[in-house]
Chain A
């Protein structure tokens, strides 16, 4: 496919579990972003990669959140010891220039 893909689409976790969310950006896109979207709200910036370098992680809400993009393509957002307040849709976007192309998101529900 030509678009950004994310997996899984839905994830249910028990409080305290670790989760890993995957993003496959559009091939060749240098920039990759992660956003968190709470129900009824707009997406909020989490972190930004340029190739494999994480240039901005100022939006990560706590040290339980960790993101990586080791080969400059696929990215993984990991959340350790999940809490109920982590329940949200996690969106990934990639871009070559100004326009960001979003994936469908992963809906995380923490029970």
Chain B
């Protein structure tokens, strides 16, 4: 079936480097994507979102890129800090068979920031 997935389960970077987390999706009709950060023992926290009519969106130290041709999106974190260590999920806010929208999450990438 349609799914949202991730390429790498774990990413280790040095403090101060830039991080890139990738995500592939399979539903070409998908039109709204969200990146979440989840720290241990906490619920997912919204980072940034992007709609399919955009290719790029920037936030504070984060940028999301969407390539609809290859159905791929990425999250770029600039000047990665120890506090960025967490699991990152891409999620698709998609319409279900009931006609209602809900989030479909990938399996996540663990980002480890080395001091």
Binding site for B on A (CB under 8 A): 4, 33, 35, 40-45, 48, 55-56, 58-59, 91, 93, 98-105
Contacts and interface: CB of A to CB of B under 8 A. Distances in A.
Given A99-B46, A102-B44, A56 B100 contact: yes
Contacts of A91: 43-44
B105 A43 contact: yes
A50 B96 CA distance: 15
Contacts of B103: 33, 35, 43, 45, 100
Given A48-B100, A58-B97, A98-B49, A104 B43 contact: yes
B46 A101 contact: yes
B81 interface: no
B41 interface: yes
A93 B36 CA distance: 13
Interface of B: 32, 34, 41-46, 49, 89, 91, 93, 96-98, 100, 102-108
Given A98-B32, A104-B41, A58 B98 contact: yes
Contacts of A43: 44, 89, 103, 105
A55 to B, nearest CB: 5
Contacts of B107: 40-42
B102 A59 contact: yes
A56 B44 contact: no
Nearest to A92: B43
B46 A55 contact: no
Contacts of B34: 99
Contacts of A101: 46
B42 A100 contact: no
B19 to A, nearest CB: 19
Nearest to A4: B43
B61 to A, nearest CB: 19
Contacts of B45: 102
A48 B104 CA distance: 13
